[in-house]
Chain A
């Protein structure tokens, strides 16, 4: 921030305080210059450049990807981008912590499934085959209304209490869909399976979205429309009022803004977007199941919003891409070697980030890491042959390197658990240390990380990814709370 930089002897004329302009306001441009390189480059990018970032998204359906990959990567990225855009209104614009957001996603999906499909459960038969545009519209409106009610129920509650009420709301939704529904509307834990694809009827003609690519394009359109609406909204009177009431509700109230109404509005708006995402998701998945709307999905959405940067619209797209790609690569159905590549790549990135200030330290750390691995392997091989006699789990092109660098005991169960615990301690230690002390601790940590990865994590990538997202949230909050593209908040003393 500007406060820490030495005062410039002769500030340019535009940046000095003028009569009637607060000095803090007039120095805003200077402060902008002083921000981190990522945010700065981003702000300098012309609108066309920002749009160019979308080209990979446009190119996805034309790439020679299988249907499954378009579904797993393309469709999921867009759905989570949509969800993150909605949550961004609640968290980023209005500053409310909504921990029941995923329930609105679920509501959207269940409403669509109920209105466009056939279900017979517990003696009740529900046959509604509404045209998709009407069920989607109903889902969106219903979610907005439920959001309105939930928001106004927490109206009198101070900030934190909203988090509690919404958390319980999300939990209650899962309990309700799983088991506590007497009329068979949700069909319990089996979920609703018999759902129409997106089928639009208008003026006697009908149009059906049937392929994965079709859903991709439909969602893409939704994301663009929502992006435009949110961009206009954030620049509008309401958007500015949201940000004002986020920064300082009391001051905003004093300025005559209806803070409570604004908050409820943001809440309901976010819920409506989640409803849209949910209804399209149900159609694309041809089903709505309770486990699609649990806490894990909530964490995923939060990871997208936090990584992308709360308050930034394009950040949501970038965040969704990064999070969902790593999420799907670490899925148990994805080839483990992709996960391995991603893992070692992020290890390299981690080292670069830790030592970005000193090339010398980085060189020493990398060299000693490599040496330590081989040395340890050689020693253990002599002393305790069982410690190196294990097999590389579904190794690809890295097999040779791993076999000679990482310790692979034959039956690593307990050792791997101890390694994991030791790794947590080491990582905590690294955070504490500075300078050359850090250089000394990094190599054993990396060797241990590789050991834990090869012996424990790669066997359960689906769990590992959630551990990593948890760590990501903690680390981002401590080091870069504005995420990748967000702007740093002004600290009010």
Chain B
């Protein structure tokens, strides 16, 4: 409600920029939001099944971005690709998703599985340690300088003009990111809803002990969940690199926080919630960047998080947490 008022106010009273500017920001926000939604899905799935905030998830996405960059460099770089661009991009996504998926598996195995029955605070601290370890390892190995993805050089500078040349511009890269994110989300929903693994995952997240008694191996289901969530994070990392053209070792921290905000705003543990939350966070950030300024945008996003958590702690689409005794 407040959001709607603010958006209307901003559009109505901005002196030079009309609705075109607003729509342009909205399109950018949707592109950004689909990346955040992918990151949010990883947080949400892990929280749904383990009730654990995986702080390291943003950094897993960062590693995905670096793996994608490695593939890009190996295959000739953005300016002179050795194989057709479509194949190259597909390669980047597949390798990055596999790489971060296996990283997620390893993290689960070594940082979280030993703490399955520990007090709640222990895996959280362990997660902090993992995040810090990943960030600084990348800093150690690859240095602090930016790596250039040059996504627009790689794909295309062109795009679709909606409403004439003065209208809203959607780059082909943006179209690709939105389509890719949508495909992955549809795939995930199908996986969770219609496969045996999805059924097992829902069962474990509902009641781990009862699921174990029904012959489901919770450890395997949890590990697979980590794999899928981290792979989505890796894909988000590559998309982030393509859209922003630059990555460096701290890129996962802020993107992770925003993805996390998205998961919480949508209702942590809920998959449609994560998508909605991602979209919302992307839109708000884009609008705030357009109408206020870049620095304040982060604060606005944080403010929304705190506001949502005060008014509706379970998030927009979440169900209120029942405390079992």
Contacts and interface: CB of A to CB of B under 8 A. Distances in A.
Nearest to A460: B140
B124 interface: yes
B122 A163 contact: no
B249 to A, nearest CB: 10
Size class of the B contact interface (CB-based, 8 Å): 35 or more
A235 interface: no
A16 B125 CA distance: 38
Interface stretch (B74-82, B111-119, B188-196): B111-119
A97 B124 contact: yes
A172 B132 contact: no
Contact of B129 (A171, A295, A477): A477
Contacts of B53: 160, 163-164
B126 A477 contact: yes
Nearest to B144: A463
Interface string B129-154: 11111111101110000000000000
A213 to B, nearest CB: 34
Interface stretch (B27-35, B212-220, B299-307): B299-307
29 contacts: A97-B125, A154-B309, A156-B310, A158-B321, A161-B264, A163-B124, A165-B305, A168-B306, A171-B298, A175-B298, A175-B299, A176-B299, A179-B295, A250-B323, A295-B253, A420-B141, A466-B136, A467-B137, A470-B129, A470-B133, A470-B134, A470-B136, A472-B129, A473-B128, A474-B111, A477-B122, A478-B110, A478-B111, A481-B118
Given A95-B121, A160-B53, A474-B126, A171 B325 contact: no
Nearest to A178: B295
Contacts of A167: 257
B132 A473 contact: yes
Interface residues of A, number: 51
B71 interface: no
Given A168-B306, A172-B299, A180-B296, A474 B260 contact: no
B257 A477 contact: no
A284 interface: no
Interface of B: 51, 53, 106, 110-111, 114-115, 117-126, 128-137, 139-141, 253, 257, 260-261, 264, 295-296, 298-299, 302, 305-306, 309-310, 313, 321, 323, 325
Contacts of A306: 125
Given A157-B313, A160-B120, A163-B53, A302 B136 contact: no
Query: Interface on chain A toward B: helix, strand, loop, or mixed SS?
Result: helix
Given A467-B133, A478-B111, 12 more contacts: A153-B310, A156-B310, A156-B313, A165-B306, A168-B261, A175-B298, A176-B299, A302-B125, A469-B132, A477-B125, A477-B129, A481-B122
Given A428-B106, A471-B133, A478-B115, A299 B128 contact: yes
Interface in A455-493: 456-457, 460, 463-464, 466-467, 469-474, 477-478, 481, 489, 491
Contacts of A463: 136, 139-140
A417 interface: yes
A431 interface: yes
A395 interface: no
A489 B117 CA distance: 12
Contact of B309 (A164, A176, A466): A164
Q: When A and B form their complex, which 4 residue pairs have the shortest distance between CB atoms, in order from nearest?
A: A473-B129, A470-B133, A470-B132, A474-B129
Choose among A97, A176, A431, A467 the residue with the greatest number of B CB atoms under 10 Å from its CB.
A467
A333 to B, nearest CB: 18
A69 B313 CA distance: 48
Contacts of A157: 309, 313
B260 A302 contact: no
Given A163-B53, A481-B118, A467 B126 contact: no
Given A431-B110, A474-B129, A159 B140 contact: no
Interface string A143-187: 000000000011011111101110110011001101110000000
A466 B120 contact: no
Contacts of A195: none
Contacts of A457: 140
A250 B323 CA distance: 10
A91 interface: yes
Contacts of B298: 171-172, 175
Interface in A26-42: none
A47 B110 CA distance: 39
A306 to B, nearest CB: 6
A299 B257 CA distance: 17
B111, B119, B121, B296: residue with the most chain A Cβ atoms closer than 10 Å: B121
A167 B296 CA distance: 17
Contacts of A467: 132-133, 136-137, 140
